[in-house]
Amino acid sequence: MKNKEEDHYKVLVIDDSYINRVFIKKLINTFLPNYHYIEADLGLLGIEKAKQEKPDVILLDIMMPDLNGYEVCKKIKSEEELKEIPILFISALNDIEDKTKGFEVGGVDYITKPAHSKEIIARIKTHSKLYRIQRDLKEYVNKVDRDLKMAQKFQREMLPTKETFDGLNIKWDFQPSFNVSGDIFGIIEKKDETFVYIVDVSGHGAASAMLSLIIKREIESVIVDKGNSDLREILFQLDDKEKSLFSDGVYFTAAIVKLEDDKITICNAGHISPIIYKNGEIETFKNNNFPLGMGLIDKKEKIILDETSFNKNDIFVMFTDGLVEAENKEGKQFGDQTIRNILREGDFEDITDIIEKIKKEFSDFLNEEKPEDDITLLVGKKVK
């Protein structure tokens, strides 16, 4: 509900001339009924009134007995809570030097006496309304920023809390392009099998982040609550369930891997293929399925899976396109070849080294530029 005070404005007039103050007060009371008139006959008193009342606009004389208008303006602008209030100088001084000095100390306008009543009224209305708009916009932006930080905290709390699973160590790097990310990932342990998934919702920001959390909850519901272990059934249910939430071309990609015994099964839905590293060799997969959220998968039997052996010390790497499709200033993409090269070199003692090496190569590639897309990188190693 709107506060009644939001429809009313405050005007502070700082002028040692009684006649000028009466004249402006009469104008405001006659032509601006929703404006509250406040006055001060000295500069120091005007500063105190500004602190007390926090007006929407200040009309300030220059020639006053205690402090001149330029000094008053400087002092008001030095106060954090007052510095954005528009100050309009109103003076008989009309030399260009006087006007220039008024702007230099922080004034936003300069009215030369004698001024026409319509001009004074028009400038009061313009600057007070502009100040309110800017103030309200700043408050809104601050509120959105607070909400996004809260959402970011919540999103990070939804990430895995441990790195060791049944015979499997996993490390990751999670970098939202904004406060929150359209990427999400998770690890689900079941008896004799472990699921690792990564999701990338199209777009960025709060809307994509909210959708990613809904998808995460649905994946875990299908696998944990409904007891599904069939990757085809999991993918089919995801596409069918989430299509009601997606519209206007929005979709999501996903890669889900299932590790059991000495094998890994991969189900890709419009996502970049995971990279498998074993015995010094790189293995990738070309099979892919439709992206999800658009209802394009009409039969689960059409879903294609990949399967390969996965033994002790074997490694898998999963990532979102924000990593490999990032471009530097020359328009060159980072690509996945760097990841392959790091794995082939084998110069790492732990999978943390792989993460750090990829991050360093990526940082050097962008040369301190901020990536435009969300980035998620997962590295897993079978330890027994």
* pLDDT in the model for residue 105: 95
First-residue to last-residue Cα distance in the chain:
62
| Of the candidates 187, 147, 142, the residue with the CA atom closest to the CA atom of residue 164 | 187
Backbone angles phi, psi at 310, to 5 degrees: -150, 105
* pLDDT in the model for residue 180: 67
Q: Which CATH number fits domain 158-382: 2.60.120.20, 3.30.530.20, 3.60.40.10, 3.30.450.40?
A: 3.60.40.10
Q: Which residue has the tokens 């006496």?
A: 113
pLDDT per residue as tens digits for the range 114-173: 888 999 999 999 999 999 999 998 888 888 777 777 777 777 788 888 888 888 999 999
Strands lying side by side in the sheet with 183-190: 183-190, 193-201, 252-260, 263-269, 305-309
CA dihedral 87, 92, 93, 96 (to 10 degrees): 80
Our CA angle for 302, 304, 306, nearest 5°, is: 165
Which segments of the chain have a pLDDT < 70? 1-7, 178-180, 247-248
* pLDDT in the model for residue 4: 46
How many helices, marked H, and strands, marked E, lie in the chain? Answer: 10, 16
Residues 336 and 321: their CA atoms lie apart, in Å, by 10
* pLDDT in the model for residue 2: 46
* pLDDT in the model for residue 282: 93
Give start-end residues of each CATH 3.40.50.2300 domain in the chain. 4-147
pLDDT per residue as tens digits for the range 186-219: 999 998 899 999 999 887 777 788 888 889 999 9
Give start-end residues of each CATH 3.60.40.10 domain in the chain. 158-382
Concatenated DSSP letters of 255-276: EEEEEETTEEEEEEEBSPPPEE
Tell me yes or no: is domain 4-147 CATH 3.30.70.1350.
no
* pLDDT in the model for residue 112: 87
